[in-house]
Amino acid sequence: MTTRTPLMAGNWKMNLNHLEAIAHVQKLAFALADKDYDAVEVAVLVPFTDLRSVQTLVEHDKLKIKYGAQDVSAHDGGAYTGEISGPMLAKLRCTYVAIGHSERRQYHAETDELVNAKVKAAYKHGLTPILCVGEELDVREAGHHVEHTLTQVEGALKDLPAEQAETVVIAYEPVWAIGTGKVCGADDAQEVCAAIRGKLAELYSQELADRVRIQYGGSVKSGNVAEIMAKPDIDGALVGGASLDSDEFVKIVRFRD
């Protein structure tokens, strides 16, 4: 049986300036013990302006926390005002980059085609995408949530070779559960995560599908994380609001306690 190390990633969204970022990562690092990292990978996805300070702290103090960005341009460079490229993130030694977060899809009209281009750009520059997928409330109410999410997965991974796809992290984030306090039931989250793994098996192979980590995201807190993590196809959490509270995020990392 394949063992997948759970990934607990905090998505800070547009919160914490570069000084607050240092204080926050220091608090996390102080609270987390070496043994916490034995069974769980911990990452923070921070605003672009925080990356340099987080990198400096992580490297100077040899912290085990991984870090990354919340978006990446599909382009390598040039006349794309306001964008940040894969080479720039790679230079800052980011491990991860979130791609296709529902807030990007909703407020910046990101399509599956653009998400696919960004996933390819991330791999081109050695970054691991955390690919975000999930349905809006009306889609779930109409019973089309699985189909909708699988279409997003297929679109995002289009023409991606297996040697890249096998390291992708997929975050299933029902849009109606993000930042709303409404958690998707653990069984409902498992249903979609299992379907995503099934889609990976169909697109690539069962072996590859068994290696890919699939996270759940949407109002994850210390009080609900254990139930979610008990599901066989859920390999971590993408945590928004609760990741801004270091005590709460540490409890989420220690979901087994």
Q: What are the residue numbers of the active site?
A: 101, 173
| Closest separation in Å from C-beta 29 to ligand PEP | 21
Q: Report the residue number, 121 or 238, with the smaller CB distance to ligand PEP.
A: 238
Q: Report the residue number, 85 or 243, with the smaller CB distance to ligand PEP.
A: 243
User: Does 102 belong to an annotated binding site?
Assistant: no
| Closest separation in Å from C-beta 148 to ligand PEP | 17
Tokens of 183: 């958690």
| Closest separation in Å from C-beta 227 to ligand PEP | 15
Strands 128-133 and 236-239: unpaired
The 10 Å Cβ neighbour count of residue 138 is 10
| Closest separation in Å from C-beta 120 to ligand PEP | 22
How far apart are alpha carbons 108 and 186 in whole angstroms? 30
User: Does 68 belong to an annotated binding site?
Assistant: no
User: Does 241 belong to an annotated binding site?
Assistant: yes
- What is the distance, to the nearest Å, from the Cα of residue 1 to the centroid of all Cα atoms in its chain? 24
Tell me the HSE value of 224 on the side-chain side, using a 13 A CA sphere. 18
Q: Report the residue number, 169 or 208, with the smaller CB distance to ligand PEP.
A: 169
Q: Report the residue number, 186 or 203, with the smaller CB distance to ligand PEP.
A: 186
Chain residues in the site for ligand PEP (CB under 6 A): 11, 13, 173, 178-179, 217-220, 238-242
Name residues whose C-beta falls within 8 Å of residue 217's C-beta, 6 or more positions apart in sequence.
11, 132, 134, 171, 172, 173, 177, 178, 237, 238, 239, 240
Residues contributing to the annotated binding site for substrate:
11-13, 179, 219, 240-241
